[in-house]
Structure 1
Amino acid sequence: MTAGLSTLFREIRGNVVLWLLAVVPVVFAVKLRHPEAYTLLFVLSVLALVPLATLLSHATESVAARTGDAVGGLINATLGNLTELIIALAALRAGQYMLVKASIAGAIVTNTLFMLGASFLIGGLRHHVQEYNRVSARLQTSLLFLATIAMLVPSIVPDADFAASSTFTQQLSVGLSVLLIGTYALGLVFSLKSHREFFGSSDPAEHGEAALPLGMALATLAGVTVLVALVSEVFIESVQEAAVTLGLTSAFVGFIVVALVGGAAEMAAAFAGARKNRLDLSVGIALGSASQIALFVAPVLVLLSYVLGPTPMNLLFWPGAVVMMLISTLTAFLMTSGGRSAWFVGVLLLMVYLIFAMTLYLLPPAGQ
């Protein structure tokens, strides 16, 4: 344990970005003393999330070095999405269902386009051509496509009888949530147990030694995830007021800003894996996180809304969000079907993401 702590402290001393960990207690201090300083809290929380994400990526790499990239990507996606789940639960209790749905849709689009595209770009600039397991990528994009269909169906329910339509939509959302959670569980069994031989790493590079002992890496993963969740709550509380001050629309904040900050930990690990020619880890984190949000986090929130929310939440998203999720899924499927990547593939994915971001910034959805 002592050796693990020494290794962890060496990591912090040797990385300038990790020195920003000093901002973490400042966030909580400002929150206690000046809770109305929304813009300051917004800036500080973003600065605090950067080193926490970097530290989380180091711990994840240490775990992945022993468990393999498939399990390592699943662990990172799960812990990263745990933070987003905690944030969504806070919004759920407050009845802010539009914010919950915007963050869900934004996280799916951000992971499939921005995180995956940036990983391809970063890795491609350092390595001429990179390879990854296309079978794993195809499975994740197929799961995403299924979830997108489930989110599309409630939006095409006839609304001739509003009361009947509302009841039907709610019942349908519960049924779809159960089906999606069951599909996600079967997908884990398929990829990690019954057919795990098809989901090994395609990366020929040497992975090297783990930076941290396994016990310390797991403890760091757990501890940092809790800190990320706490700082993210401060971020969510301050981001709406700060957005008004900075001139940002609520749609842009929920779909783009919240998704980017909420996925900072996963992005740090994905980008680090791409730089080290471990693209299987990067693809596993990006697509695995997106499919986990779509098939697990979103349906769980629907079911928990019956207990925690003022009223039940459904899977009825506004049409623009469904279209963006569908386009993102199809784009990711096309770009990952070959199992090879170069830097320009990342540029194409990022361009699609920027088109969506620009559209939301200039023309938010109706009612926002």
Structure 2
Amino acid sequence: MKYLKLLLIFIPISIICEVLKLNEVALFFTSAAAIIPLAGIMGEATEEISVYSGPRIGGFLNATFGNATELIIAFFALKEGLFDIVKASIAGSVIGNVLLVLGASMFVGGLKFKTQTFNKSANEVTSSMLLFAVIGLVVPAIFLHTVKPELLSSPHYEKLSIGIAAFMFIIYICGLFFSFYTHKDIYGTNHSEEIKSKWSLKKSISILVLATVAIALESEFLVGSVESVTHSLGLSEFFVGIILIPIIGNAAEHSTAILMAAKNKMDVALEIALGSSLQIILFVAPLLIFLSLIFKPMDFVFNEFELISIIVAVIIANKVSNDGESNWLEGLQLIAVYGILAISFLII
């Protein structure tokens, strides 16, 4: 994390690029570089606040702010009407967390430890929730793409998206209640140990607010320069949304998962990877649908290749994690699948 903070130097650089209207490709990459450490600082501040608030509220804060960076970036893309980028970033975050982050965690941890174990019961709950989330995401889209494609341009389409988003959001709230209250024993987390805070509560809240404002500013720079970047570098908006933006928004979280695996804490790494994917589908995506009503309603239907990629990612992740053990080869397999999908997205 301390090395990521060196990237904070890109905050003033990106502001200079924006104020002086310099090269927009430079603006895109400097703002992207600035977002990475800011996301880490936001996560650190949230962890510090959870020390004062207690495990239940702290867990809710972590769940809420875990994907705040992606939410902020997507909001500005939503504001600009870049719906394809928004939906691609949602799919890309799920694919990236399930394949790249989990794969890298298993691979790095497996190089240090021959076999790593994790809480099988907790993983089964998370995996089943993730499978449900994907079903809720995929089935309506497949129905509209194959059975009744004419509905894509009908007034009923907007109501369908809002209805799906509402169900997703309700399940998300129920999932929080399940894991933090009625069945918290499944996760085997002991909160009895005393954890000392590095920051005061006032400092933690102040840093969280400042980091959020800074991410919002940098996200506006990033989204505003997307069009120029796609034209200059010959990249599609689809690739930017599904590969680049999720990596930028999740970089700090990715590094944390890998570090936890290297310390033989695969439970934590697994929860970061799969739990973050759950938050994206059940919380971030529905919230973006509701926010889109402020500007122009966005649909909840993904294209066929996004759907196939999400299904493949979740199936293989469930397959390699259902025995409660992991090794470096399983991690390498997940990374390889991500690489295959990334190459495919690049040439689309």
TM range (shorter): 0.7 to 0.9
Instruction: Tell me the equivalent position of 1:360.
Output: 345
Q: Provide the rounded CA distance (Å) in 2 between the counterparts of 1:267 and 1:64.
A: 20
Deviations 1:169-199 (A, max 9, x none): 3322222111111111111111110000001
Deviations 1:13-63 (A, max 9, x none): xx45423322212212221122x5211112212332343344456556656
- Displacement after TM superposition at 1:211 (Å): 7.0
Deviations 1:289-323 (A, max 9, x none): 111110111112222222x222x222111111111
Instruction: Tell me the equivalent position of 2:321.
Output: 336
Q: Provide the rounded CA distance (Å) in 2 between the counterparts of 1:256 and 1:200.
A: 34
Deviations 1:245-292 (A, max 9, x none): 223222211111111112123213222322333222222121111111
Structure-2 change in CA distance of 1:266 and 1:17 (3 Å)? closer
* Candidates 99, 123, 128, aligned match of 2:85: 99
- Displacement after TM superposition at 1:222 (Å): 4.3
Structure-2 change in CA distance of 1:127 and 1:69 (3 Å)? farther
- Displacement after TM superposition at 1:163 (Å): 5.7
- Displacement after TM superposition at 1:347 (Å): 0.8
Q: Provide the rounded CA distance (Å) in 1 between the counterparts of 2:47 and 2:261.
A: 12
When the two structures are superposed, what TM-score results if normalisation uses the length of structure 1?
Answer: 0.82
Q: Which runs of 5+ in 2 are unaligned?
A: none
The answer to whether the aligner puts 1:184 opposite 2:180 as a matched pair is no
The answer to whether the aligner puts 1:238 opposite 2:225 as a matched pair is yes
Structure-2 change in CA distance of 1:279 and 1:184 (3 Å)? same
Structure-2 change in CA distance of 1:324 and 1:161 (3 Å)? closer
Structure-2 change in CA distance of 1:276 and 1:227 (3 Å)? farther
Report the AA paired with residue 121 of structure 2. V
Contact 1:57–1:269 (CA under 8 A) maintained in structure 2: no
* Candidates 150, 154, 163, aligned match of 1:175: 163
Q: Provide the rounded CA distance (Å) in 2 between the counterparts of 1:255 and 1:183.
A: 25
The answer to whether the aligner puts 1:141 opposite 2:114 as a matched pair is no
Q: Provide the rounded CA distance (Å) in 1 between the counterparts of 2:249 and 2:5.
A: 18
- Displacement after TM superposition at 1:218 (Å): 5.2
Q: Provide the rounded CA distance (Å) in 2 between the counterparts of 1:58 and 1:164.
A: 42
* Candidates 283, 289, 300, aligned match of 2:270: 283
Q: What secondary structure sits across from 1:242 in the alignment?
A: helix
Structure-2 change in CA distance of 1:104 and 1:160 (3 Å)? closer
120-129 vs 211-220, greater mean Cα deviation: 211-220
Q: Provide the rounded CA distance (Å) in 2 between the counterparts of 1:148 and 1:180.
A: 10
The answer to whether the aligner puts 1:224 opposite 2:226 as a matched pair is no
- Displacement after TM superposition at 1:344 (Å): 1.9
Deviations 1:123-155 (A, max 9, x none): 222333322222222222222222222222333
Report the AA paired with residue 322 of structure 1. L
The answer to whether the aligner puts 1:270 opposite 2:257 as a matched pair is yes
| Aligned residue pair count | 343
Q: Provide the rounded CA distance (Å) in 1 between the counterparts of 2:267 and 2:346.
A: 33
Contact 2:48–2:199 (CA under 8 A) maintained in structure 1: yes
The answer to whether the aligner puts 1:122 opposite 2:108 as a matched pair is yes
- Displacement after TM superposition at 1:164 (Å): 8.5
Contact 1:70–1:200 (CA under 8 A) maintained in structure 2: no
* Matches for 1:1-368 after TM superposition, within 5 Å: 15-34=2-21, 36-56=22-42, 58-59=44-45, 75-155=61-141, 156-157=143-144, 162=150, 166-201=154-189, 212-213=198-199, 215=201, 216-217=203-204, 219-306=206-293, 308-310=294-296, 312-362=297-347, 364=348
Q: Which runs of 5+ in 1 are unaligned?
A: 1-10
Report percent identity of matched pairs.
35
Structure-2 change in CA distance of 1:235 and 1:126 (3 Å)? farther
Q: Provide the rounded CA distance (Å) in 2 between the counterparts of 1:17 and 1:161.
A: 46
